[in-house]
Structure 1
Amino acid sequence: RCTHSTPPHSFRKVASISRCCHAVLRLAKDGCVHTKDDTAALQAADEWEITGLARFAAFDLQFFLAGEPAFWYAPGENLTPAQVVCHSLVADTGSRQVSYALLLIEHADIHENDLRSTAPWYGLEPTASDMYAFLNGEVDQRQSRETVLPNPDEYDSLKSQYGVM
C-alpha cells in the first residue's frame, strides 16, 4: 500500500519518493492513483511507466480495463515482461488475472527462470510456480492452492480468442 503523503497529482514533481511508492500503484484497492488527472500526470512523467493489464497492450494483448491503470516508478529502467506479469497479479491471483498473466507468459515467451527470479520481490513465488505447472500440464505438482488456475478448456478458448498459440 502506498502511504506517501504527497498528493498523486504532484508525483512527477517529487524528486525523492519514499520506498513505498516504488511499488505498483493502483493495484491495491486503496492505491494512490484515483483520477484521470492522476493518470495523465503519471503518463506525462518519464520516470513512471504504465504496468499491469494496461501494459499488456504493448504485447498486442488488449483488455478492457475498469478504472485507472497501474503505474510503476522506474527512473531510467525498462520494465521486463516478467515484472509486468507480477504487477498484474500483485492484488489478485484469481482465475481472470491468472488467465491473462498466462496469456502474456505464452505470447511474450517469458522464460520460467525470468519469472521465478522476479516473483519473490512481489511475494508471488507460489503463483509463478503454479502457473508454470499449469502450462506444463503438471497441475498436480502445484505449490499452492491459493492461485486460482483457469479451467484448461476455457484457457484454450481464451488463447484462441487472443491469437496466442
Structure 2
Amino acid sequence: MVKKSHFRVVSHLIDEDESEVSISMLADQLGWSPGHVSRIVSELEAYGYVQTKQSGRQKLVSLTDIEPIEQLEGLLTEYSHMDLSGLIAGSGLQILYYLDQGRTATELAEQSGVSQATVYRRLDDLQRVGVVGKSRSRYRLNDPFTVLVSIARGLFHQKHRHEAEKYATGLNFIWETHDEYLFACGSDVSADEFYLTGPALFGEFGVPLLTRDRRHYFRTDRRSKITPAELVCHTLLIDDDSRYRTYCLLLMQKQGIDRTVLRERAEHYVSESATDLRAIIDELIGFLESEGTVTAEQLPEWEEFKQTASEYEVTL
C-alpha cells in the first residue's frame, strides 16, 4: 500500500521544489527521525517514485520523472490549498484506481478490497472538497480531478514493474489491478507470490505442450496456487487465438473444470481486460457441451479437435 507517510514525502518534495535534498535535511523539514525518513525513502525508491544518490557522506533524494509523479506534481501545485495527498493516500488510492467510470460504493469495495465502511468515509471526504460527485448511487470524479485515475494506475503500475524487475527480465504486462498482475518475461522467476502460469503450466494438469513461448507469471497474495480454471483465464488473456483456445478446450475437458467456477473466475478478470473473456468462455463451454455443433470463429472443427484430443490422451 502507498501509505500516508509515502505521500507526505512525495508532496513535500513537490512543495519544496528542490531537485535534490539530503535525508538529514528532509528529516528536519518533516520533523521526523532520520531513521524513519530513510525507511520511507527506501520504500519509495523500491516503488520507483524517488531516486537517491550518494554525495560524500550524505544521501540525496529526488523525485523520478515518471508520468504519474509529474501528473501528481501538477495537481498538488494547482490545488495547494487542499490536502490532496492526505485524501488520496492509502486506501484512497485503491478506490481512485477504479473510478475510471461511475461506480457504486459496493462495486468500489469489491474491486478495491477496501471495506465498504472505509469506502464511504473516503468518498465522503472526496465529495466534501469537490473531487467526487454522486448521481443515482454512482460516484464519479469531477473535472479536473479525473486525472487521479491515471495517477493511481500509474503509481501502482510503477510499483508492480519495480517489484517484478527484481526477479525477471524483458517484462511485458498483460493484465493488472492495484494488487495483482499477469506478465510475460524472458526468464524464470522463483519468488514468493509469483506463480508460473500460461502454456508452460499445462503439463502440470495433464496437457503437456511443446511451446517455446515466453514464460508467464501471475503475482498475487490472494491465493496460493493456480487452479485449472485460473489457468484457462490467464491463457486467454495472454492470447485468444485459435491455438490458445484449443489449449484451453483440452484443459477444460481433461480436468473436468466446473463451468460455474470457470465463469466466476472469468468475471474476476473482466473489468481490467480488453478481451471479452466472458463471451470467449461461453463459446468454449458451448463448443464442448454441444460437441462442436455450437461453434464460433477461432474454434476448431469438431473432428479436428477430436484428433487433437486423442493425441493428448484427452477423453471426449
Q: TM-score, normalised by structure 2?
A: 0.41
Within the candidate set 229, 254, 267, 1:107 is matched to 254
Within the candidate set 154, 162, 166, 1:10 is matched to 166
Shift of 1:139: 5.8
Within the candidate set 56, 60, 76, 2:202 is matched to 56
Choose between structure 1 and 2: higher strand proportion.
2
- Letter of the 2:313 counterpart: G
Shift of 1:81: 1.1
> Comparing 68-77 with 55-64, which one deviates more in the overlay?
68-77
Q: Which has the larger radius of gyration?
A: 2
- Structure 2 CA distance for aligned equivalents of residues 52 and 157 of structure 1: 23
- SS of the aligned residue for 1:79 comes to coil
Shift of 1:141: 5.6
Moved over 4 A (4+): 138-142
**Corresponding residue for residue 299 of structure 2:** 149
C-alpha spacing 1:141/1:154, structure 2 compared with 1 (3 Å): closer
- Structure 2 CA distance for aligned equivalents of residues 154 and 67 of structure 1: 23
Contact 2:181/2:220 (CA < 8 Å) preserved in 1? no
- Structure 2 CA distance for aligned equivalents of residues 46 and 106 of structure 1: 30
**Corresponding residue for residue 77 of structure 1:** 224
C-alpha spacing 1:65/1:3, structure 2 compared with 1 (3 Å): farther
Q: TM-score, normalised by structure 1?
A: 0.76
> Comparing 94-103 with 60-69, which one deviates more in the overlay?
60-69
Contact 2:263/2:281 (CA < 8 Å) preserved in 1? yes
Q: How many residues align?
A: 144
In the alignment, does 2:175 pair up with 1:22?
no
Unpaired runs of 5+ residues, structure 1, are 13-17, 27-32
- Structure 1 CA distance for aligned equivalents of residues 283 and 177 of structure 2: 29
Q: Superposition RMSD on alpha carbons, in Å?
A: 2.5
Contact 1:51/1:87 (CA < 8 Å) preserved in 2? yes
C-alpha spacing 1:121/1:156, structure 2 compared with 1 (3 Å): same
Contact 1:130/1:139 (CA < 8 Å) preserved in 2? no
- Structure 2 CA distance for aligned equivalents of residues 148 and 100 of structure 1: 12
C-alpha spacing 1:45/1:117, structure 2 compared with 1 (3 Å): same
